[in-house]
Amino acid sequence: MSARRLFTGPARLAAIAPYLWLALFFLVPFGFVIKISLSQTAVAQPPYLPVFDLAAGWDSLVAAFGELTLDNYRLLVSDNLYLLAYLRSVMVAFTATLILLLIGYPVAYAMARLPRRWQATAMMLVIIPFWTSFLIRVYAWINILQHDGLLNTVLVGLGIVSAPLSWLATDTAMYIGLVYSYLPFMILPLYATLSKMDGALLEAAADLGCSPVKAFWLVTVPISLPGVGAGVLLCFIPIVGEFVIPDLLAGSDALMIGQTIWLEFFTNRDWPVASATAVVLLAILVVPLVFYERAQMRQIEGRR
Amino acid sequence: MAATAARGLSRINMAALALGLAFLYLPIVILVIYSFNASQLVTVWGGWSLRWYRELLNDEAMLAAAWMSLRVAAMSATAAAVLGTLAAVALARAGAFRGRTLFSGMLYAPLVMPEVITGLTLLLLFVAVNAERGFWTVTIAHTTLTMCFVTVVVQSRLGALDRSLEEAAMDLGCPPARAFVAVTLPLILPAIAAGWMLAFTLSLDDLVIASFTTGPGSATLPIRIYSEVRLGVKPQINAICTLIVALLTLVIIAASMATKLTSARGESAAPL
């Protein structure tokens, strides 16, 4: 106990460097995004107006403040392009997360029921793809799905289809890529809660005459809900803002919001609109986070 | 009763596990095999060959990008290891301090933040302070992104540690800070090493944040690969991807050995 009290001083000092780093490179940049989202596009370097110049004195600063507008946000609301992109992002993330849950749950469940000594190996096998490059994993699928790729060769060879199908630039390809890339993020939190489950609970259910299927729904599923929540969150939030997978695998007729930000920024060089789009995306993503936080709090309180 | 129920389910369980793992690994295995294909066409198997690896050696833009990526990864992983460990020590040992919630919030936010947003915000900062974009800006961005991963690994290790060793050192008259450096630091070193390697691979992997924060003429390897992939599948890309997979596999083996070393010392290993 005395050790804890003695060491807290130096440990607090340890917080200073990472604290400053995060404030400077994580918190402060959000201020810039909000400011630029209120600016106007300009053909200049940097491509927005007004630029706050502290050296120019107080009056010009006040004048610059007066030039800030909500025009970019009005554009986001009035132009269907952005609304559709937000809608599509949420829909795609929802569908992909649902598929991930349906595939990830049986795998995590099987992992948790393996003999103890195999569980570590199984977990390692699921983690390894998470370490392999995202881009490489998407590229591996382009290899398979392209017009004269492996999938079409196999399908035609087996006589399932008569002519090669086009897989690339479709939503199917995008969903395959999303599910493939995010599967470890779904499996690991599910496995973490399922492996902690006490097997005696299922035995008790069986002894009381509960069928295995019913026991699964009445015992296993409620216990695994925290893992489901964490897995859904870990997949849903990044997928809403996903750029690489829809860009490389989906068609170009409907864009997701990550692609829209990228396009506004790099192609149209409209930094203020890109910033406003990012601010709104962030606001959308806070919603599931708050829900999750609340659910967790309720659970902690329920345990007491 | 429960044992038979478990065995009854296990065939479906095994099928789910086997299919899940096959789904995760097959595409990468196919990619690796085709990188040794002598033929230009993906459908035609022209026999085993190292042709695409030789062509890779002549691709100077690709080699320069690889060198840039390795430097950024090593530099940012080192910075992330230092900052992430400090943060872990603060979270595990400092108790309640003012701003702790904000601190852990900022630390873990990059875990779920879409990369497009992180990249955009950092770029706007760099532009506003007129920083020259290139090696250093990407390194700073990757450090910010990866330090939370180091913290997760080191913090769980600190939590699993037997505090009595530290206390014994202090009972024998060792000042707290010195007890930490002499007793605790060696014990968490494998976790820091594992965190470093995780940060290294994440930095090597990142496309989106690097695209935002880099400048003209200093493309990282994923940026280079991405611009090639957009133009279609090329056998050389299979070759460079295979090399990256091989490198990352080595790093993973090293990291798991570092974690094993930890558990060999009699405490529970830090989960990666």
- Rounded to two decimals, the ipTM of the complex is 0.82
Which pLDDT value is given to residue B253? 81
Nearest CA in chain B to A198: B2
Least confident of B147-151, B233-237, B243-247: B233-237
| Beta-carbon separation of A19 and B204 below 8 A | no
Q: Does residue A276 contact residue A72 with C-beta atoms inside 8 Å?
A: yes
Q: Is residue A284 part of a domain?
A: yes
Which residue's entry shows tokens 């709090």? A297
Domain match, A227 and A129 both:
yes
The answer to whether residue B22 neighbours chain A at the CB level (below 8 Å) is: no
Ranges of residues in chain A whose predicted pLDDT is under 50: 1-5
Binning pLDDT at 50, 70 and 90, where does residue B8 land?
very low
Q: What is the CATH number of the domain that holds A122?
A: 1.10.3720.10
Number of domains in chain B: 1
Question: Nearest CB to B30: which of A110, A140, A146?
Answer: A140
CA distance B38 to A180: 28
Q: Is residue B49 part of a domain?
A: no
Identify the domain containing residue A55 by its residue range. 16-69
Q: Does residue B10 contact residue B214 with C-beta atoms inside 8 Å?
A: no
Which pLDDT value is given to residue A35? 85
Q: How far is A52 from chain B (nearest CA, A)?
A: 9
Instruction: Reply yes or no on whether the pLDDT at B268 is more than 90.
Output: no
Dmax over CA atoms of chain B, in Å, equals 73
Q: Is residue A3 part of a domain?
A: no
Binning pLDDT at 50, 70 and 90, where does residue B161 land?
confident
Q: How far is A278 from chain B (nearest CA, A)?
A: 6
Q: How far is A78 from chain B (nearest CA, A)?
A: 22
Instruction: Reply yes or no on whether the pLDDT at B271 is more than 70.
Output: no
Domain match, A169 and A284 both:
yes
Instruction: Reply yes or no on whether the pLDDT at B29 is more than 80.
Output: yes
Task: Please tell me whether residue B148 adopts helix, strand or coil conformation.
Answer: helix
Question: Nearest CB to B120: which of A113, A124, A274?
Answer: A274
Binning pLDDT at 50, 70 and 90, where does residue B9 land?
low
DSSP B94-124: S-S-TTHHHHHHHHHHHHHS-HHHHHHHHHH
Domain match, A21 and A158 both:
no
Which residues 27-66 of B are in CB contact (within 8 Å) with A?
A: 27-28, 30-31, 34, 41-43
Of the candidates B98, B140, B96, which has an alpha carbon nearest to the alpha carbon of residue B119?
B140
Domain match, A61 and A197 both:
no
Which pLDDT value is given to residue A51? 67
Which residues 219-238 of B are in CB contact (within 8 Å) with A?
A: 222, 225-226, 229-230, 232-233, 237-238
Domain match, A30 and A152 both:
no
CA dihedral of B202, B204, B205, B207, whole degrees rounded to 10: 120
Provide the percentage of residues in chain B whose pLDDT is more than 70.
91
CA distance B78 to A162: 55
Q: What is the CATH number of the domain that holds B79?
A: 1.10.3720.10
**Chain A residues within an 8 Å CB radius of B232:** 146
The answer to whether residue A265 neighbours chain B at the CB level (below 8 Å) is: yes
Which pLDDT value is given to residue A91? 95
Q: Which residues fall within 8 angstroms of residue B124, CB to CB, at 6 or more apart?
A: A29, A32, A33, A36, A271, A275
Question: Nearest CB to B106: which of A26, A32, A133?
Answer: A26
Which pLDDT value is given to residue A55? 63
Q: Is residue B183 part of a domain?
A: yes
| Beta-carbon separation of B42 and A180 below 8 A | no
Q: Is residue A6 part of a domain?
A: no
Instruction: Reply yes or no on whether the pLDDT at B42 is more than 80.
Output: no
| Beta-carbon separation of A183 and B20 below 8 A | yes
